[in-house]
Structure 1
Amino acid sequence: MTITVVAVLVLVVGFLVAAAVVPFAPASARTTTYAAPTSTLPALSFPGYGATAVEATDFPESLRTSGDRKARSIASISKVVTALVVLDAKPLRQGQAGPTITFDAQMQGLYATYAAQNGEVAPMPAGLQLSQYQTMQVMLMKSANNYAGALALWAFGSMDAYQRAATTWLHAHGLDDTTIHEPTGLDAGNTSTATDLVDLGQLALADPVVKEIVGTAQATVPGAGQIENSNKLLGMDGVEGIKTGTLDQAGACLLFAATYERGGRTVTVVGAMLGGVDHDSLDVDVQRLLRSVADNFQVVTLTHAGQTFGTFSTPWRDEADAVSAKAAEVLVWGRTTVTAKTTLEQLTFGAAGDRVGRVRFTISDHDPVTVPLVLERGIEDPGVWWRWTNPFQGTAA
């Protein structure tokens, strides 16, 4: 009899010990349904003539066009190509004046040549010497054709050599719908599409020397005198460049860029408008277009801090949410699609704030964003009494 009692006691103790120490299986986990934020498709204010393209840099989905897509004469916008091609051959760092250019008789003769074509020119007195930077100022700001031609002769020795260098440079940068015959733009055969010009504008802004010059309102250059930027929009509505163009065959043209503060970051809009009647009306249309582009930047909230993305449930009816450890938002332009994929880790017990998973947001035309998930509240061991009264429930297999 005593042996039987002892045996029973041993079995009971063994049971209680086993029930108390057998590990639990991980809590069951379920994810919640994500309600994606919404955004709108912007309506832009395009003009009803010519050809226009506009794009927010770093937002490739924002590229929008209006009008025809054929190559059009680009007039003095050609000088942006000239500046970049010369800098490719004769690099210049920001803050440097560069080598000295002595304007010889051939260069000085360009004044009469271009003036006879009703082209913009600037004084170039005999014996004049200027730095490369100053020469580029007169070319880009005043749009002086004789300085553009002189710069091309200085850098390449002849107009033919310049044309070959420009063609090579255009192909190297994927501007296959752009054709440049000479450095000034007085030749109506210098043509491009509006979309190619958007790419050209982004290349111009990427060069600190060109960006600085096209963003300068006025300067005094020896020999040329005080020069003012031909871009009358400079400094208005965030406009920081880039280049005007005017020719009978081209109409009024503008390659433009503007910078705005949106969603805590700086965004740049680059565009080209070709075929306007005159620069006064074109400038109004550019301003209207830029405002419509700028107004369509939106900050999309992906998640708030503490937002629930899943729930852990235990056999002892304890629950704890997996919540986002921080808020996350992105700056987008136009209609945007957002999806979320939640991954929860295995969990048996945990303290509030423990990392328990992640949520990865996929945003159209944007890099993915990953946010860690943490326990909103702790999950604790239910204790020996629950284990004894609910033997082996929820234990690991």
Structure 2
Amino acid sequence: PAPPAPAAPAAPAAPSASLSAAERLARSERTTQQPLPPKPPLDMLADLTNNPPPPPSPMRTAVRRFKIYAPLVVLLAIVLAVVQLVRPLPEPKLVMTATSSYTFEGSKPQLPWPSEGQAYMAAAGLGTLGQSGEQKPVPIASVTKSMTAYIILRDHPIKKGEQGAMIDIDKTAETEGKKNDSVNNESTLDTVKEGEKISEYDAIAALMIPSANNIARLLARWDSGSQEAFVKKMNDTAKELGMTKTTYTDPSGLDATTVSTAEDQVKLGLKLVEMETLLDITKKPSWVDPSGKNWPNWNRLVPYNDSLGIKTGTTTKAGGNLLFAAQKKIGNTNQLIVGAVLGQHKAPIIDTVIAASKQLMLATQKALEGATVVKKGQVVGYVDDGLGNRTPVVATADVQAVGWASLTVDVKLANGGGKLPQTAKAGTEVGVLTVGEGASQVKVPVALQSDLAAPGIGSKLTRIG
């Protein structure tokens, strides 16, 4: 009989279809898990040596953190140090330690005020010495020409030593020049003729010395095209200067409707004394016009007692009026004073107003005095480099204030408009000490008492902000 056939090898069992969903998920997860991260070196060493890793401890944790963070801290410190060393240094500042004001000893001076009308007295940059009478608007006559001259020189300045623009003489100026007769009784420049020219300088001189009405009107037409337009400019300028009780109706002051106060005229006078060209004219005792005719100055205060003129004004209705200025040399300062006297009706009115003004002028000059506020070499402040280093600064000369009894003046320290140096030798001028304001201002340079050194590395590294 034939041997039995060999049995076929059994086929591998198929996966049971009856596996649960949870089992299939478990198998899937085992196949997709990521490898574990490598063990720490100490654990790996323990595995290799069959020694168990040392148990966690605070010391081990601290050592591990130190090894991780120490390099980062060192790197951060290096970066911060480099930033501190290379970033720009702060700008040095000049700080004052001297007293910020000075008060003159004594009581306020009493001035000889006129018995009628009104008056006002001030010093440029220092303030008001006082006033008398009610400051109410009154006719000011030819004192009006002060505003006319101010506007012309402000809008058409004349360089020192020059004559300014050349102005054509029109028919009106020539005709009005003949009104200096007994009928019209106007003050005019009667030597001008149509077709000729007059320099701006001579026109201002004709305005302020012989008080020429026809030249005042000529200047108004030359500047603004018409007298009406110029009068508007006069009133606008008055508002700008704070002359709240002033109204101009003509450029010459012949109209009684042009009114002002002594206080308002002093406000204008304080601007006029800043015009060197004007004072060069008004301080003349007389003036020779282009034709060769000599004209005396109505203001007979000049050239005496350091008087600088400015402008008279007299009419029957206005009385005697005068806006005047003078100077007084105190130390290295040329102090300017300005006063106004209005409404003097005692005949002769021009003599009355000049006498009253002279008393005020001389008394004010006498009241002005100088006082040493800071002595040469005295420390008045320091240069602060912004990093905690301070270098003292000293006055390079005596500092003298100008004023009168009871007056307080300001003391200021500034760098003079330029930047302060980061380094400099002792004696280098780094600023200016200033006492007072305006024309009375006294300025003295200040210098380093010792070398101004650049900030050191330690200051740079430790600075904040």
TM-score bin, normalised by smaller chain? 0.5 to 0.7
- Which segments of structure 1 move beyond 6 Å, counting only runs of 4 or more? 303-307, 324-327, 360-372
Code of the aligned partner of 1:69: Q
Given candidates 293, 318, 321, the residue that maps to 1:225 is 293
Matched, 1:260 2:260: no
* Aligned pairs (5 A) from 1:1-397: 38-60=105-127, 62-112=128-178, 115=181, 116-123=183-190, 124-223=192-291, 225-276=293-344, 277=346, 278-302=349-373, 329-336=400-407
Q: Which residue of 1 aligns with 2:23?
A: none
- C-alpha distance in structure 1 between counterparts of 2:288 and 2:399, whole Å: 49
Q: CA deviation at 1:331?
A: 2.5
Q: Deviations over 1:2-52 (max 9, x none)?
A: xxxxxxxxxxxxxxxxxxxxxxxxxxxxxxxxxx97323211111111010
Q: CA deviation at 1:335?
A: 1.0
Q: Deviations over 1:357-378 (max 9, x none)?
A: xxx9999999999999x9xxxx
Code of the aligned partner of 2:299: N
- C-alpha distance in structure 1 between counterparts of 2:143 and 2:339, whole Å: 12
Query: Which structure exhibits the higher relative contact order, with contacts defined as CA atoms closer than 8 Å and separated by 6 or more residues?
Result: 1
**TM-score when scaled to structure 1?**
0.67
Two-structure CA RMSD over aligned residues (Å): 3.6
- Secondary structure in 2 matching 1:295: helix
- Secondary structure in 2 matching 1:109: helix
- C-alpha distance in structure 1 between counterparts of 2:224 and 2:232, whole Å: 10
- Secondary structure in 2 matching 1:291: helix
Question: Which deviates the most, 328-337 or 75-84?
Answer: 328-337
Q: CA deviation at 1:271?
A: 0.3
Q: Contact 1:138–1:224 (CA<8 Å) still a contact in 2?
A: no
Q: Gaps (5+ residues) in structure 2?
A: 1-102, 379-393, 412-432, 450-465
Q: Gaps (5+ residues) in structure 1?
A: 1-35, 308-323, 341-359, 375-397
Q: CA deviation at 1:112?
A: 4.5
The change in CA–CA distance for 1:331 and 1:135 in structure 2 (over 3 A counts) is closer
Identity score, percent? 29
- C-alpha distance in structure 1 between counterparts of 2:222 and 2:360, whole Å: 39
Q: Contact 2:136–2:261 (CA<8 Å) still a contact in 1?
A: yes
- C-alpha distance in structure 2 between counterparts of 1:270 and 1:126, whole Å: 37
- C-alpha distance in structure 2 between counterparts of 1:89 and 1:302, whole Å: 39
- C-alpha distance in structure 2 between counterparts of 1:192 and 1:37, whole Å: 33
- C-alpha distance in structure 1 between counterparts of 2:180 and 2:232, whole Å: 21
- C-alpha distance in structure 1 between counterparts of 2:287 and 2:434, whole Å: 49
Q: Which structure has the larger Rg? A: 2
Q: Contact 1:38–1:337 (CA<8 Å) still a contact in 2?
A: no
- C-alpha distance in structure 2 between counterparts of 1:139 and 1:338, whole Å: 37
Number of matched pairs: 307
